[in-house]
Amino acid sequence: MKIQGVIFDMDGLMFDTERLFSHYWTDACRDYGIPRKEEFVQAVRGSSGEKMLACVRRYYGEELDAQAFCRRCYEYVDEYLKTTVPKKKGLDELLAWLKARGLPAAVASSTYRSLVERNLRTAGVEEYFRKVVTGDQVEHGKPAPDIFLLAARQLGLAPGNCLVLEDSFNGVRAGAAAGCVTVMIPDLSQPTPELLSLCSGCLEDLGQVPDFIERYEG
């Protein structure tokens, strides 16, 4: 099977931003006078929309304004990212490699569009991505496959010819459910046996992706 396009997650995969969310959930909890729950921070990672709101309600109850709570965390992250977006190891090299080989790339991120597009501009990598798909464009967020199916469709490719690069559990599940070739590059969450069973590979960093593609295509 040939890989004809690559679909990137953003937070924790391209940019070292999951640590920001982890940090600012603490601040949001402080603002709302509720305890930070590590289980919540892990469960909410890689989610968006109703999945994120449901996660908040599961851990903090219906009495908390889930939308306002999530918005507060995003406001903190948004303010930090206005001036700097820390790139993950190997990102620039991988994007240059894909461009040299004519392989199109897309972003499929649960984060809202304006922040995704600004991060791409601030990091100086906007030109490498043919399509940007965000959580507000699909009915069901990760771990549902919707966002990756839409990204593949926008690239004009079958899901099976797309390589999905993900760091989160929800993202890996979504990529596998979409029928894409799915590779995990762990960030804050290390893979479980379940996650490894869903992946075609598990790599240390983005710089290893070209070798993976060459091995996969044989």
Per-residue pLDDT at 17: 85
Per-residue pLDDT at 50: 84
Q: Is 27 annotated as catalytic? A: no
Q: Which residues contact 123 (CB under 8 A, 6 or more apart)?
A: 14, 15, 85, 87
Whether residue 110 is predicted with pLDDT greater than 80 in this model: the reply is yes
> Burial letters for 84-120: b for 16+ Cβ neighbours within 10 Å, e otherwise?
ebeebebbbebbebbeeeeebbbbbbbbeeebbeebb
Which residue among 11, 78, 146, 187 is the active-site one? Answer: 11
Per-residue pLDDT tens over the stretch 6-45: 999 999 999 998 888 889 999 999 999 999 999 999 888 8
Whether residue 216 is predicted with pLDDT greater than 90 in this model: the reply is yes
The CATH T-level fold of domain 5-16+86-217 is: Rossmann fold (3.40.50)
Per-residue pLDDT tens over the stretch 171-212: 999 999 999 999 999 998 889 999 999 999 999 999 999 999
Q: Is 136 annotated as catalytic? A: no
Which residue among 9, 78, 167, 187 is the active-site one? Answer: 9
Is residue 10 within 8 Å of 129, Cβ to Cβ?
A: no
Measured distance CA(132)–CA(154) in Å, rounded: 9
For tokens 């804050």, name the residue: 188
Domain layout of the chain by residue ranges: 5-16+86-217, 18-80
